[in-house]
Each structure stands twice: as structure tokens, then as C-alpha cells.
Amino acid sequence: MADRRSLAQAVKALALERCSACGIARAEPLPGLFSCYSHYGPQSRAAYIGRSARERSDIRLWFPKAKSVLLCAFAYWPRPGAAPGLELSSEELRSWPPRYLKRKGPSAPGGYRPARFALARDYHKEAGARLSSILARIAELFPGADGRTFVDSSPVAEKPLGQLAGLGFQGKNTLLINKELGSYFVLGGIALDLDLEADAPQAGGQCGDCNRCADACPTGALSVNGLDITRCLAYWLSAAPDEMPEEMARQAQGLIAGCDKCQEACPWNDPARACGARHVLPPREL
């Protein structure tokens, strides 16, 4: 059997055939889970992660055999050849999935501007299929290896694990920021029963004195206290179980499925340093 470092390198080489970046974390309890989310206020934190906080604190509660966690970043932007304007024509709008059309603000003169992630194919399906294929390849290479894939909908603390696996640092806008990819990516991964050498968390590259995301936020959701999710348009336009309050709806004019303003403002997403990320999620078929 190869040593832990060689195993880890082989697994990451397989993953990089299908994702934009990857890293490995130990499958251990995450005592720092809450401090990783310290940008959320107490109410927001409870609303956001309270339901499955205990499960999320240790991936072995979800996959007891786990020894290591492979974290994969799937970039969805910038996409080669994508139109510079993001506004949807009324014809395109008609062909959009109803679940997104239920989640939009009032109409705007310039048309609707969807969140960038929604311009790509459904990442649950696309990244989920790629992760299944990576797991199948790992099982071919290491007969007897077992694992369980996750992307967004499982009780797994993806962002803190991604941070531990060296995939980025958590910016003041609460998003994981990767020095090569910026923040326009989704995270998924595989809990594995293989004992792999873990990566080191990404050094440096913190926000410093920058405050551009908070300055750009139209609702004041970002402050020195972190993110107030009850004022975050991305929350109201994607995950909130209740109807958007009128005050938020006014600010959501022309938005569909989310809000990218704190990402657009971030220097790590500056188009001038946009890198040709590999394996970018393909565009949604209209």
C-alpha cells in the first residue's frame, strides 16, 4: 500500500480531472465550526446551521467510516465565451425553471439579472455527477475503498472543511475565497475511508483593510459584526422559507435566484485577474 502522501496525491490527481481545485482535510470533529461562522449573528447562525449543527460538527456522524475528506471546488464563473451582459431577454426568462422564477425581485427597466451560479447547469446534478465519477475512479484505483459524496444538501460543514483543506480563506463577505478562483465556485466533496495526508490551510491572502463588499451591499447586511442573514438578498432569493419582506423586495429589483453584489465588488473576483479556471460548470441549457 502506498504511503499517505502518495495516496493523497493520486486521489487529488483523479479529482483534478473533473473539478477546478481540490484539497484534503482530516475527518475529525470541527471544534471551530462556530468560530468559522462567526460572521453570522446569533440569530442568523441559528437559522442557518442550527438544524443540523451537531451532525455538521463531525463528518463521521454522517459517514462513520470516514478517515479523510476530499473537498472539490467547481468554478461556475468566469466562463469562456459567456456574454458580457448578464441580463436575460424576456424570451430567455420564459424558459427559466419555475423554482427560480418564484424567487425574483420586482421587474427592472434593464431586465432581470440572475445570480451567476444560476447561469450554470444545476450544480447539485452537475457537480454531484462529477463527484460520483471521481469516487468510482478512486474505487477502481484502490479496490475496497469506500466513500460518500456531498454537495450542498448533506449535513456537512463544507466551508470550514474547505478552509482546512487549503481551498481558501473566509472573506468578510463570509464566502470562501480561493487565490486562483476568487469566490465564484461551489464546494462539494467525498468522505473517504482512506487515510490520506491532509493539506495545510491556505496561508495569507486575508481581507486586510478592504471593506468593498460591505460598501457594495445594498441592504447593509454586512458589517463589522458579520452577515445579518435576515437582510441578505441572496438568502431571500434562494433559501428563505418565508416570503421576502417588502423592504428587501424593494432592494431586489431585477434580481433572480440570488445577489452577487458583494462578490462583484471583491478584488479577488476582478475580471482582470480572472484565471482560466479548469472544468468550469457548463451553461444552463435554455
Residues that bind ligand SF4 in the complex, under the rule CB under 6 A: 171-173, 207, 210-213, 217, 219, 221-222, 227, 232-234, 259, 261-262, 265-268
Our CB check for ligand SF4 shows the closer of 53 and 207 to be 207
Which residue in the shown chain puts its C-beta closest to ligand SF4?
A: 171
Positive/negative CA dihedral, 186, 192, 196, 197: positive
Our CB check for ligand SF4 shows the closer of 139 and 214 to be 214
Nearest distance, CB of residue 47 and ligand SF4, angstroms: 14
Our CB check for ligand SF4 shows the closer of 97 and 205 to be 205
The set of cell numbers assigned to 132 is 460520483
Our CB check for ligand SF4 shows the closer of 147 and 171 to be 171
Nearest distance, CB of residue 97 and ligand SF4, angstroms: 20
Angle at 14 between CA 10 and CA 20, to 5 degrees: 120
Q: Which of 152, 209, 215, 260 is catalytic?
A: 152
Nearest distance, CB of residue 36 and ligand SF4, angstroms: 15
Whether 58 is catalytic is: no
Nearest distance, CB of residue 70 and ligand SF4, angstroms: 26
Nearest distance, CB of residue 224 and ligand SF4, angstroms: 11
Nearest distance, CB of residue 81 and ligand SF4, angstroms: 26
Our CB check for ligand SF4 shows the closer of 8 and 259 to be 259
Residue keyed to cell 418564484: 102
Our CB check for ligand SF4 shows the closer of 9 and 211 to be 211
Q: Are strands 185-192 and 176-177 parallel, antiparallel or unpaired?
A: unpaired
Q: Which residues are catalytic?
A: 152
